[in-house]
Amino acid sequence: MTKEEARVKIEELTKLINQHNYNYYILSNPVISDFEFDMLLKELEILEKEYPELIDVNSPTKRVGGDITKEFKQVKHKYPMLSLGNTYSENDLTDFDNRIKKIIETEYEYICELKYDGVAIGLTYINGVLASAVTRGDGTQGDDVTNNVRTIKSIPLKLIGFVFPEEIEIRGEIIMSHKSFEKLNEERIEQEDLSFANPRNAASGSLKIQDSSEVARRNLDFYPYYILGEALPFEYHYENLTKINEWGFKTSAYTEKCKDIYAVFNYITKWNKQRSNLPFDIDGIVIKLNSLRQQEELGFTAKSPRWAISYKFKAERVSTKLNSISYQVGRTGAITPVANLEPVLLAGTTVKRASLHNADQIEKLDIRIDDIVFVEKGGEIIPKIVGVDFEKRTLFSIPVKYIDKCPECNTPLIRNEGEANHYCPNENECSPQIKGKIEHFISRKAMNIDSLGEGKVEVIFDNGLINNIADIFDLTYEKLFGLEKIFINDDGKSRIIKFKEKTVNNILIGINNSKNVPFERVLYSIGIRYVGETVAKKLAFHFKNIDKIMDSSYDELLEVEEIGDKIAESIVAFFKLQKNINIIKRLKEKGIQFSIDENLLTTQSQKLIGKTFVVSGSFSSPQRRKEIEKLIEDNSGKITSSVSSKTTYIIAGDNMGPEKLKKAKDLGISIISDDDFVKLIL
């Protein structure tokens, strides 16, 4: 066989195998036997071995895996991967519907979808070929898991047909069915390995396996729920989902159009009753506007779209005995009481502990040791005690006396006026606080030294090598090599962490790479109380460097957008402590970024400072709307969704809502076009 003949044969086999995959996994209608399919695949494998230069990265043979990914690189999302607002209340859904009515003055309809309990993924196709698969991550960037995703047979490696956008992103959920989950856990138990708690954890863990051939064995599945890109086939979400079924995706048969909120309630009621019959886990229903133009008009908040919401099913409730209460110390010194329970099965997992939040919660529920308590999983994830079975309370039950000293360092606890939590004020010597601050510093959204995770901080701390965040940068190969510690898991099984050559080198590489983390994330990472990601960014871009923040007064801090009394007081108090100033000095000496990158500053201006904008109507593309909003923020303007007396300008596209137009005229607010807006910032 010549090379050209081999190329033609490979193309024929690829097309044929892809069609049979589609018949089996998408249409559930196989037309050949498994043996015949395996023979076709074997023939293709043999040809690819003989002619490796003809192997396509999206060949059907890639479905069985084999690629090794030593490190999952971070990739920035082209479109932010936001999370949905959620509720457990039908009243909230009615409020959601009423908010839409106020803005969308034409007819609209909803699309209801099952909320799959799995892992969100974004699949990018360029010219019909799978180019990348990226996890949600922090919403701005996620992990590239393309090699592993290629093994999922319900994800087409090449789209079927010829007519589709040049570049398109298909978002959806990677799940593990109950059948695959049970099989996986049976195998792990046989191998004396730890079983997974639930299918979602199994799916998530599978995507981060380095060997893609192991991922292929997990039988993961995929359901798409949204399409992004320019020149989409239709202006309606439901019709686009239907279209991509023709391209090779297995779309859900359970998705329905709902003409109004009452039809939505009927859909929720149906699936709340029937969800136990599904072959996979769901934890609620997603409700979206069908029209993409109406979605665009409603826009987004900082965290979620305004045109969609998820209704979460109420959590399963069980009862069990409260054996005792222990107390945990967080990185800020906050004390959290934890209920130690008689083990009980709840929503597929064995629950032994539950949070009691604070002293007020214990008093409010009138919880006593040896009570029979009701336990739920908040959001189907975190166990919490929601009540007491008073009919089963004995005469010998003892009221809880909340501790008055730190369980770790014995320091008397304090409770600030107006706050629910008790605190240990001994932040410099209380070990859980020190470890907590270090773990926060290395976390992904902070300095992202992930090679120091999974208990390694505790091992290094227990060996006296680190006592604050600056000590991390004094670690060396000689100090770390050979360290080890045995940990006992909740189920009584042990695991050991050993600092071998590869582990130590990865830690040191991670520490060195963190020196490139931008100032706003460094500011967040140092752990000033009440200074979260958003506040840190506001502070960084306002003051430009750490020295100006350290020297700023309480009144100067209040001038920064979103900085209130509590945050300003906390910042001032933090930099009054010489210990914190010394740590900043040491971090500076190690090369940590404590000023805004000059390249970022050149893209920022103060031209729109003090001005508030509403962006309304349809523009040349959804991308243009996002560009306008980014330009407003880059030039220090503020964006709101509703028109008020504080609105400076409305940037109007086509089909601006008449209600907004009327309100703008009544208030005398300037309505400008996209071109007018550009002139403001030139």
Residues forming the active site = 115
Q: Are 379 and 312 in contact (CB under 8 A)?
A: yes
Q: How far is CA 450 from CA 206, 447, 499, 510, in A?
A: 18, 9, 15, 7
Task: State phi, psi for 23 to the nearest 5 degrees.
Answer: -60, -40
Cα angle vertex 612, ends 610, 615, to 5°? 155
Q: Are 75 and 143 in contact (CB under 8 A)?
A: yes
Q: Residue 182 belongs to what H/E stretch?
A: helix 178-190
Closest CA to 283 of 119, 115, 118: 115
Q: Are 341 and 320 in contact (CB under 8 A)?
A: yes
Q: How far apart are CA 613 and CA 161, in angstroms?
A: 43
Q: How far apart are CA 250 and CA 300, in angstroms?
A: 28
| Token output for 621 | 């593309």
CA atoms in the 13 A half-sphere facing the CB of 374:
12
Number of H helices, E strands in the chain: 25, 24
Q: How far apart are CA 532 and CA 539, in angstroms?
A: 11
Cα angle vertex 663, ends 662, 669, to 5°? 105
Q: Residue 659 belongs to what H/E stretch?
A: helix 658-667
Strand partners, 654: 618
Residue written as token pair 């189920």? 491
Strand partners, 414: 423
* Per-residue b or e along 601-627, where b marks 16 or more CB atoms closer than 10 Å to that residue's CB: eeeeeeebeeebbbbbbbbeebeebbe
Q: Which residues touch 271 (CB under 8 Å, ≥6 apart)?
A: 114, 254, 282, 285
Cα angle vertex 458, ends 453, 463, to 5°? 130
Task: State phi, psi for 320 to the nearest 5 degrees.
Answer: -160, 175
Listing DSSP states for 369-420 in one string gives: ET-EEEEEEETTTEEEEEEE-GGG--TT-EE----SB-TTT-PBPB--TT-S
Q: Which residues touch 296 (CB under 8 Å, ≥6 apart)?
A: 618, 619, 622, 625
Q: Are 600 and 519 in contact (CB under 8 A)?
A: no
For 111, the 3-state DSSP assignment is: strand
Closest CA to 176 of 195, 198, 156, 194: 198
Q: Are 306 and 82 in contact (CB under 8 A)?
A: no
For 13, the 3-state DSSP assignment is: helix
Closest CA to 61 of 212, 209, 222, 181: 212
| Token output for 397 | 């039950």
In degrees to the nearest 10, what's the CA dihedral of 268, 279, 353, 398?
60
First-to-last alpha carbon distance for the chain, in angstroms, is 64
Q: How far apart are CA 121 and CA 605, in angstroms?
A: 35
